[in-house]
A and B are shown apart, each in its own frame.
Chain A
Amino acid sequence: MSSRAYLSIENLGVTFNAGPKSSEVLRGVDLTIDQGEFIAIIGHSGCGKSTMLNVVAGLLPVSMGAVILDKVAVEAPGPDRAVVFQNHSLLPWLSVYENVRLAVDKVFRSTKSRTERHAWTMENLALVQMTHAKDKKPAEISGGMKQRVGLARALAMEPKVLLLDEPFGALDALTRANLQDSVMEIHGKLGNTVMMITHDVDEAVLLADRIVMMSNGPAANVGDIVTVDLPRPRRRIEVDTDPAYIAARHAVIEFLYARTRWCGPPEPVFRAPAATRAPIFCTAA
């Protein structure tokens, strides 16, 4: 293990217990990420990618091993590990501005004045080119714009590591390309440490410094790591024919389709106790 590692995942194991049944999702995951590094995590459905990200976020408990960020063990969720969720998860009753402002107010309540917080909110909206829609409700903007706002909300927390959980999975190809360019540009500008989950091989190769490929679950771990040896800034049209790009892309595809094949159950969704949909009762007395 490199002692300089900014984020390190050490011998991580996650087991879910649901009554008498238990399922081991991750076992012995080791991964170290340097500051400013962009890591993509790729693997078949059910390999525990999302579980791993949720553990780093602190949303799921660790069963074994540890996640250490900047010399501190991760135990609970916090704004230093901001998450961009797959389905944006903006609060629908708040406007675009208010969604970002909520995060800014919470994180910088004691360190920034009211005007500074306003300026910081606007700055982050400008970073994702969403200032024009700041007063709109999430329902009034497109899926791509919602993800931009989700990204702005995460960036506004000034996280130590930015966690992207298949952020562009639900978007059409053109919108996705556009957002990928924005993410690359922002990463180039701010130098965030990023951990991104993706299903998309091209997305992984284009964006990441290293691609972590997960073996199949149950009890998945890191199968292999591909280093993408492409200089930044990368441009979609130019890298497409670059030998390094092709080599990295081939290595990932080879891993996914020759060395591991999908065989496990669909990715388990672990949520809070299933919300019981009790009937809305409307009997007359």
Chain B
Amino acid sequence: MSMPARNAARPASPPTPAGPAPAAALLALPRRKRLDLTALARQARGASGLVLPPAVAIALLLVLWQGLSSGGQGLPSPTTIWTDSKELILHPFFDRGGVDKGLFWHVLTSVRRVAIGFSLSAVVGVALGVLVGSSRFAHRALDPIFQVLRTVPPLAWLPIALAALHEAQPSALFVIFITSIWPIIINTAVGVRNIPQDYVNVGRVLRLSPFEYFITILLPAATPYIFTGLRIGVGMSWLAIVASEMLLGGVGVGFFIWDQYNSSRISDIVVALVWVGLVGFTLDRLVALLGRIVSRGAAAS
């Protein structure tokens, strides 16, 4: 059998930092520098290809918005928002006590709630998903319940939570938990049920104990599915937090939006919406990144 050359694909060496270099390296410098320049140019082209289209689209959107809303009625135009909410945009970190804080603090409070609620639902969801995925009896017993409950909108849970827990803070956490747990359970269960029979057979031939099987085969094989569920779940929990804070009050970006609506500061709401969108996007990407790191190499070959 012919083995492939081991040094086949060696990446181009990165640019060497300036400093005392041996003569050979100095001699080779011009050539290497030219190579780096072309690589840099290629990188710049790639980056501009990624950045330019969305930048153009955003600019066009702003122009369109400005044109449509310049009548003075209805939604404020981008320039109006800038003049109205300049303070809010430029100073996200002020804190005058109470709920009079910069947007950063509101968002941070919301993110903290999501972190707690989502962590809980991740742990419970993966555990339940493994149970439902590996036991046919558990699947038959629980799946109908899950399928019905997962369609209940987050806000419908809020009165139940308030009635059961009596307090706003745990109720908000519960709403996040209950909203984000369903995709985690369902995707984990699908992942566990889809473990290739070959891997199961390897475990059987080796006589792995249930715990060893769980650690060495089940978890790694289901990881891509688990992270699909976690990613959908974190998005849904962010949807739920904003909605539930609107009703609960206190600090938090959801309440901020509601508060500004009551004082007719629509410009501030638009600014808050941009924050909500960007944070939601970041959360999604964070979970996706974590999934890529954890499931590295788990792709079937």
Point out residues on A near B: beta carbons under 8 Å.
Answer: 57-59, 76-79, 81-83, 85, 87, 89-93, 102-103, 106-107, 132, 137-139, 142, 144-146, 157, 175, 178-179, 271-273, 275-278, 280-282, 284-285
A58 to B195, CA, bound (A): 20
Contact B206 A89 (CB under 8 A): no
Q: What 16 additional pairs, Cβ within 8 angstroms, besides A78-B207, A85-B198, A285-B236?
A: A58-B204, A77-B207, A82-B205, A89-B199, A91-B216, A91-B220, A106-B208, A139-B299, A139-B301, A144-B1, A145-B1, A157-B206, A179-B1, A280-B190, A280-B225, A282-B183
Query: Which secondary structure dominates chain A's binding surface?
Result: loop
Task: Please pick, from A92, A276, A285, the residue contacting B153 in the complex, using a CB distance under 8 A.
Answer: A285
- Residues of B near A132 (CB, < 8 A) are 3, 6
- Min Cβ gap B259→A in Å is 23
Contact B220 A93 (CB under 8 A): yes
Contact A87 B205 (CB under 8 A): no
- Residues of B near A278 (CB, < 8 A) are 186, 189-190
For B206, B217, B229, the residue with the greatest tally of chain A CB atoms inside 10 Å of its CB is: B206
- Residues of A near B236 (CB, < 8 A) are 284-285
Q: Give the residues from 204 to 237 in chain B that come closer than 8 angstroms, CB to CB, to chain A.
A: 204-208, 212, 216-217, 220-221, 225, 228-229, 232, 235-236
Contact B232 A282 (CB under 8 A): yes
Contact A273 B136 (CB under 8 A): yes
Contact A87 B194 (CB under 8 A): no
A93 to B301, CA, bound (A): 10
Contact A79 B206 (CB under 8 A): yes
Contact A59 B198 (CB under 8 A): no
Contact A92 B206 (CB under 8 A): no
B300 on the A face (CB < 8 A) = yes
Contact B205 A81 (CB under 8 A): yes
A132 to B4, CA, bound (A): 11
Q: With contacts A137-B297, A138-B301 known, is A271 near B202, CB below 8 A?
A: no
